[in-house]
Structure 1
Amino acid sequence: MRKSAGGTIMGWSRLSPAAAMALLWLCMTALGAGAQGALPDEPLRVTLAGKGREPGRPGGELRTILPRDKDIRLLSAWGYARLIGYDERLDLVPDIAARIEVEEGRIFTIHLRAGHRWSDGAPFTAEDFRYFWEDVANDPLLSPAGPPDLMLVAGKPPRFEVINETTIRYTWDAPNPGFLPALAQAREPYIYRPAHYLKAFHARYGDNAFIEEQVAAEKVSGWAALHNRRDSMFANDNPDLPTLQPWVVRNPMPAQRFTFERNPYFHRVDEKGQQLPYIDRILVDIADPSLIPAKTVAGETDLQARGLSLRDVTALKSGEASANYLTRLWPIAKGSQVALYPNLNANDPVWRSLMRDRRFRLALSLGIDRADINATLFFGLGTQGNNTAVMGSPLFDADRVSRNATFDPGKANALLDEMGLAARDASGFRLLPDGRTMELLIETAGESEEESDVLALIAQSWAGLGLKAILKPSERSVLRNRVYAGEAVMSAWSGFDNGMPAPGMPPLELAPLKQETFCWPKWGQYAATRGKSGEPVDLAPAQQLLDLFAEWEKAPDEAARARVWTRMLDLHADELFTIGTVMGVSQPVAVSKALRNVPEKAWYGWDPGAQFGIYRMDEFWLDRN
């Protein structure tokens, strides 16, 4: 066999990259070439007893149900293998990395676990970081926008060094306090890639004939599009792509059932030295969202939260005995179950002017009967108030929750009159300054019956203010595009993803830094693209939030960061850039009685939390006896 300049064995070019790698690894093992066994030399040892858990028995299949095939990406969050991740106390602890040394807040040296391997048996080394940094993040075809934001400080990238096979270093000119929290996100940024697999699809390394053949077969525009399609670390849509997660997807999309199998090279062990995960396979069935509660009650799942809401609790409790499961209620760690997002960048000049007027936003907030929403839809178990840090966060403040969020229609009407909006049409609805009836279109993704019910109650309350609220459900991508373009005047979504913040977490959602925050999409786009798109901030309180975020980035310690967080949260409670409804609503979690080590009391959040991820699903085990 001959080799190309990049080292590809030409005689194997007809094999898939995964098959070629597996064959190469078998040959190396047969020759005694450095086989290290299934575990790293120094695996991560977890102490289950310290968590009130018990060592388990390996084996078994765990069943769960998801509403869409693309939702299998959640397994990448639930597995929650990260270079560094949050524990249940929200402390950052090394995981895939053996340790991370930080100097001056700007020099990060990452030490890997010697002998650690990808799920296909190939070594996980510094080369995987080098490949990402040099051949993906800084390749103009693969990453036209350049390196991701977490790798930039004041727009400048770090100096990257490979110290040895298991050590890499990133050095920035200034501190990068958001780097480690970013690595711990539910949606991992993946600053490494399986180089041994992806090089086959990279023009710099792969065999041209093989790449051209694959490009034609996939009907994509070129090698970069092919590489990006294969390089889907989070999506779980490429069974050939090696992973470091506890389970590996085995069948491609589309499918009605997906099988995830145990990663034989996973890096964690229990106190007895038994390799995790305990569970051999996770079977994911795809079902219509409306059927998930009934399927859960019928006992067709072992662990279920997706597709369940508080309205399902009565039915879930009734099925516990016959279907052999228990229903647990975990408070949702979002800033608000449903929140309203006035679009401060709306195209309509009249509505934009109103949305930017604090008095109008305050009137909308005071005009919501949150107690009615809580009692009617959430059995009175939630906490009515703003979109802010929830109970359990070190930044929680009860006064901030209720500030400007009590039901006071008299004051709300007085504020609207003060704004010159006293004129009404024949039906009693207020008129806009240009004479139009004040019809406020609230746009939604149309995915949640609960959300629609909340908005219907809000519309009923606002009618008492002379404001006609009209609900417009669409589809998620349509909603986002309309918000981003400024066509949507107001939208509804859940509250802050990070309702459980700690001072060391970047307050990204609190400042206009991302287009995805629906109250200021164009300002966020301007910040995210470094001025190439969007609009610069031109509202003083929003600019103050940007200034505070910059202050957080330069803060010397946790106490200083906590002070910045507090000021930003207070500013949100005062200005009402988003309008919350009810927080602390419980997420029903149906847990098979055979499933062990699932916490009885927990909170359910995305970032931080990764839903089940922070509770280490690899430690769950099945006792079918």
Structure 2
Amino acid sequence: MERKDTLTRRHLLRTSATVAAAATLAACSSGADGRSDGPTRAGASAKPNAKGSLTKQPAVPADLREAPMLAARVKAGDLPALKQRLPENPYVVPHRWLSPGKYGGNLLLNTPSTDDGSTKEFMYGHSPLRWLNDGLDIGPGLVESWEPNADTSEWTLHFRPGLKWSDGQPWTTADVMYWWEDLVLNKEHPEVPPDDVRSGTNSVAKLSAPDEHTLVLTFDAPAPILPERLAAWVKRGNGATWMQPKHYVAQFHPKYNKKITSEEWFNTHDDRADWARNPACPTMTGWRLTSYQEGRSLVFERNPYYWCVAPDGAQLPYIDTITVSAVTDPQVRKLQVTEGRVDYCHGPFVGIGLPDVSALKQATERSGIDVVLWNSGSGTGTLFFFNYDYPEEKMRTLIRNPKFRQALSHAYDRDEVRKSVYFNTGEKTTGTTHPSAYEYLVNDDGRQMYQRWRDSYLAYDPERAKSMLDEIGVVDRDGDGLREMPNGSKLRITLDYAADADRTNIQKNDVIKKNWLAVGISTELNPVPPTTFGERWEAGQLMSYTTWEVSDTPLIYPAPVVPVPPAHWAPLHTQGFTLQTADPDKLRTQANEDPWKRQPPWLLAEEGTPIDRLWKLYARVRVETDRMKQVQLLWEIYKVHVEEGPFFMGCVAEAPQVTGVHRDLRNVPARENLVSGGWVNAWTHPTPAVYDPEAYYWSNPDQHT
């Protein structure tokens, strides 16, 4: 494959399955006077239909400019000139909706805590590659160009020459190799090799750095998904670390500083290396931390060495500073928004959703906050799934019977959930992956695959559900109006959820309980202390999991489509999957023990079972280098869900997510500016980082200091 500066994955735009908000919310992306905020949010010179981002990196402008505060420092002699601070070829933000901005001002945010990961979701500066066009394309980042060998078992990454950390020190591949050799491969350090560096056979790559700007990853098998891995998450944030400023952090490592004990290094290194907690730690992000008051606030200021520029040559960011207040009470966070004490609120991070739209709209005049809706990218909405590995055998046998799950899906009134929880937005669904994923858009077969899965057990038909339950022997034997198991024993379903779950999850559970009781299934809500929920689920002790959603694609994050991480529908199988490579000796020594008493509890898939088929298909798709064959293997995975599912039950796909944006803030895209309307809910597609908040600017910065 020839060397290139972008890896294009978009062949088609979404032509079907894109769902607009209902009429009740149609005006929520408009200003207070009812006008569309598309051109205003995107800047006065942008066109309302200026969609997406360029897949080819724009040329670096001949004339570069910088913020007045930095120009003053250059003139005073305490900061190098702009060209000396930027790499040889700066990254040019490629979004079509951008307009030239103004420098200055402060942006007010709030967050649940000073250690909450949401703050890092605003900053994409450590990512080697970047998502474009709502995940349909991949473009350069710190890595300027990249190429694989013929079978993708070796990748060469070319980083931008001249990159600098926020303290002005050069960024080099030594910063990656420090992370790799001194942290990941160091058995005394808790960090382990991330999925980014695993081949299709799950083996760990070898990393080498031939020079300061080149990194080579050598795998034992094809690794065609590496570019997606490098673009996903925010690196050195909520995803893999990938790099540390060696010139700074090495002083706290006993290998480089003999005065540091192993215990001191183990206890303090990661805190010192956290750029969002330690103001002294250098960063590659657009803003650098200047103040950290635990439990109270964070303050960031412009990074004078940020390596990204706007299309007109302005070094980013436009906004001088960001002030983040920590507010633990979600109601107080919302109150701050309506009172105008916050300039920008990304709904998923602060607990604001569709039920809050009316209050936000009513407060617009005093708060200055307009409502912007982006598509969530969720293929399910709030989820329900059974524990496929439930310890009680009779119940486990029933759970594993596809007709039982299909009957309950037909007994589920998703219309009611769509109306009461999602305000008639989105589209009803049995539950799929991200609706705008490439494998659905590639051709008519892809669109049909999506629709087939979405509609597979969707119809609300209580009579059909009753008939299916009768067919498998789940009938009312004692005349009390409730059905028993096929052997006559009591049948009781618990809807298990962490007691601090959000209200959408609980509202959905109320509907499920009512619906299933109506067809004769005893159903109870079971709030579980959040401190023990995860542990009990991974031990296989809970009957169901009611929370979350599916927003990702299996190439990046396979669960819950393929049961790999434990926090999904087959927790013991997922732990068995992990042990196959992590500790195969344990599989042998514990083979004759009770699966639920093993440490950790684990199961392996039996030949021909749905999980066995999913694992084998997943193994093939991970090493498939032909893009269309890869897509076809994904379709085969989805067919298992259609034919033997549902393994998880969704309710509403693509319901919009709410973002509150101050009316004076520019270059924030509206939904119509985005290729798929947004892909907000997936942490693998870090939002708003993918839209480059460094390019946001105040129309009147002097009024927002």
Whether TM-score is above 0.5 comes out as yes
Q: How does 1:79-478 map to 2 (within 5 A)?
A: 79-81=123-125, 82-89=127-134, 90-104=136-150, 105-143=152-190, 146-153=192-199, 154-186=201-233, 187-208=238-259, 211-212=260-261, 221-232=263-274, 236-252=276-292, 254-287=294-327, 288-304=329-345, 305=347, 306-394=350-438, 395=440, 397-424=450-477, 427-432=480-485, 436-445=489-498, 446-478=500-532
Which residue identity is paired with 1:271?
A: P
Cα deviation, 1:112-143, whole Å, max 9, x if unaligned, reads 12221112222110111111222111111114
Cα deviation, 1:130-176, whole Å, max 9, x if unaligned, reads 112221111111147x5233322224333322211111211223211
Q: Distance in 2 between matches of 1:400 and 1:610?
A: 26
Which residue identity is paired with 1:286?
A: A
2:653 to 583, 593, 600: 583
Q: Tell me the equivalent position of 1:617.
A: 693
1:493 aligned to 2:544? no
Q: Distance in 1 between matches of 2:582 and 2:213?
A: 38
1:554 aligned to 2:623? yes
Give 3-state SS (helix, strand or coil) of 2:283's partner: coil
Contact kept, 8 Å, 1:515 with 1:528, in 2: the verdict is no
Which residue identity is paired with 2:642?
A: A
1:563 aligned to 2:632? yes
CA shift for structure 1 position 268: 0.2
Q: Measured at CA, do residues 578 and 70 of structure 1 come closer, stay the same or move farther in structure 2, by a change above 3 Å?
A: same
CA shift for structure 1 position 427: 4.3
Q: Measured at CA, do residues 203 and 613 of structure 1 come closer, stay the same or move farther in structure 2, by a change above 3 Å?
A: same
Q: How does 1:526-565 map to 2 (within 5 A)?
A: 526-529=576-579, 530=581, 532=583, 533=600, 534-538=602-606, 540-565=609-634
Q: Distance in 1 between matches of 2:188 and 2:492?
A: 46
Contact kept, 8 Å, 2:113 with 2:296, in 1: the verdict is no
CA shift for structure 1 position 295: 2.2
Cα deviation, 1:572-611, whole Å, max 9, x if unaligned, reads 2331111111111121211101110011113223244312
Unmatched tracts of structure 2, length 5 or more:
1-76, 441-446, 584-599, 672-676
More deviation, 61-70/361-370:
61-70
Q: Measured at CA, do residues 131 and 573 of structure 1 come closer, stay the same or move farther in structure 2, by a change above 3 Å?
A: same
More deviation, 324-333/417-426:
417-426
Q: Measured at CA, do residues 410 and 189 of structure 1 come closer, stay the same or move farther in structure 2, by a change above 3 Å?
A: same
Q: Tell me the equivalent position of 2:29.
A: none
Q: Distance in 2 between matches of 1:605 and 1:389?
A: 12
1:63 aligned to 2:108? yes
Cα deviation, 1:326-384, whole Å, max 9, x if unaligned, reads 11122211221111121112222222222111111112211100011112222221211
Q: Distance in 2 between matches of 1:133 and 1:597?
A: 37
Give 3-state SS (helix, strand or coil) of 2:291's partner: coil
2:566 to 502, 508, 515: 515
Which residue identity is paired with 1:352?
A: R
Q: Distance in 2 between matches of 1:453 and 1:350?
A: 29
Q: Distance in 1 between matches of 2:368 and 2:505?
A: 30
Give 3-state SS (helix, strand or coil) of 2:564's partner: coil
Q: Percent identity?
A: 25
Q: Distance in 2 between matches of 1:468 and 1:600?
A: 45
Q: Tell me the equivalent position of 1:16.
A: none
More deviation, 450-459/524-533:
524-533
Give 3-state SS (helix, strand or coil) of 1:250's partner: strand
Q: Distance in 2 between matches of 1:70 and 1:434?
A: 51
Contact kept, 8 Å, 1:439 with 1:468, in 2: the verdict is yes
CA shift for structure 1 position 84: 0.3
Contact kept, 8 Å, 1:125 with 1:166, in 2: the verdict is yes
Q: Distance in 1 between matches of 2:309 and 2:83?
A: 16
Contact kept, 8 Å, 1:386 with 1:573, in 2: the verdict is no
Give 3-state SS (helix, strand or coil) of 2:384's partner: strand
Contact kept, 8 Å, 1:116 with 1:123, in 2: the verdict is yes
CA shift for structure 1 position 47: 4.4
CA shift for structure 1 position 300: 1.7
Q: Distance in 2 between matches of 1:410 and 1:552?
A: 40
Give 3-state SS (helix, strand or coil) of 1:339's partner: coil
Q: Distance in 2 between matches of 1:246 and 1:621?
A: 13
Which residue identity is paired with 2:324?
A: V
Q: What is the alpha-carbon root mean square deviation over aligned residues?
A: 2.5
Q: Distance in 2 between matches of 1:342 and 1:152?
A: 30
Q: Measured at CA, do residues 36 and 249 of structure 1 come closer, stay the same or move farther in structure 2, by a change above 3 Å?
A: same
Give 3-state SS (helix, strand or coil) of 1:472's partner: strand
CA shift for structure 1 position 79: 1.2
Q: Distance in 2 between matches of 1:368 and 1:66?
A: 35
Which residue identity is paired with 2:520?
A: G
Contact kept, 8 Å, 2:113 with 2:295, in 1: the verdict is no
Which residue identity is paired with 2:193?
A: P
Q: Distance in 1 between matches of 2:273 and 2:490?
A: 51
Q: Measured at CA, do residues 508 and 109 of structure 1 come closer, stay the same or move farther in structure 2, by a change above 3 Å?
A: farther
Q: Distance in 1 between matches of 2:546 and 2:481?
A: 25
Which residue identity is paired with 1:536?
A: L
Q: Measured at CA, do residues 535 and 231 of structure 1 come closer, stay the same or move farther in structure 2, by a change above 3 Å?
A: farther
Cα deviation, 1:283-316, whole Å, max 9, x if unaligned, reads 1122211233332222121111231111111111
Q: Distance in 1 between matches of 2:197 and 2:98?
A: 37
Cα deviation, 1:49-69, whole Å, max 9, x if unaligned, reads xx1220111221111222233
CA shift for structure 1 position 78: 2.0
Q: How does 1:42-81 map to 2 (within 5 A)?
A: 42-47=89-94, 51-71=96-116, 73-81=117-125
Contact kept, 8 Å, 2:560 with 2:569, in 1: the verdict is no
Which residue identity is paired with 2:658?
A: P
Contact kept, 8 Å, 1:84 with 1:95, in 2: the verdict is yes
More deviation, 152-161/576-585:
152-161
Give 3-state SS (helix, strand or coil) of 1:69's partner: coil
CA shift for structure 1 position 478: 2.2
CA shift for structure 1 position 231: 4.0
Give 3-state SS (helix, strand or coil) of 2:377's partner: coil
Q: Measured at CA, do residues 426 and 258 of structure 1 come closer, stay the same or move farther in structure 2, by a change above 3 Å?
A: farther
Contact kept, 8 Å, 1:200 with 1:207, in 2: the verdict is no
CA shift for structure 1 position 390: 4.5
Q: Distance in 2 between matches of 1:41 and 1:289?
A: 45
Q: Measured at CA, do residues 254 and 432 of structure 1 come closer, stay the same or move farther in structure 2, by a change above 3 Å?
A: farther
Give 3-state SS (helix, strand or coil) of 1:544's partner: helix
Which residue identity is paired with 1:266?
A: Y
Contact kept, 8 Å, 1:385 with 1:406, in 2: the verdict is no
TM normalised by structure 1 equals 0.87
Contact kept, 8 Å, 1:203 with 1:223, in 2: the verdict is yes
Q: Distance in 2 between matches of 1:468 and 1:292?
A: 38
Give 3-state SS (helix, strand or coil) of 2:133's partner: coil
Contact kept, 8 Å, 1:442 with 1:470, in 2: the verdict is yes
Q: Distance in 2 between matches of 1:566 and 1:226?
A: 47
Q: Measured at CA, do residues 35 and 588 of structure 1 come closer, stay the same or move farther in structure 2, by a change above 3 Å?
A: closer
Q: Distance in 1 between matches of 2:613 and 2:293?
A: 46
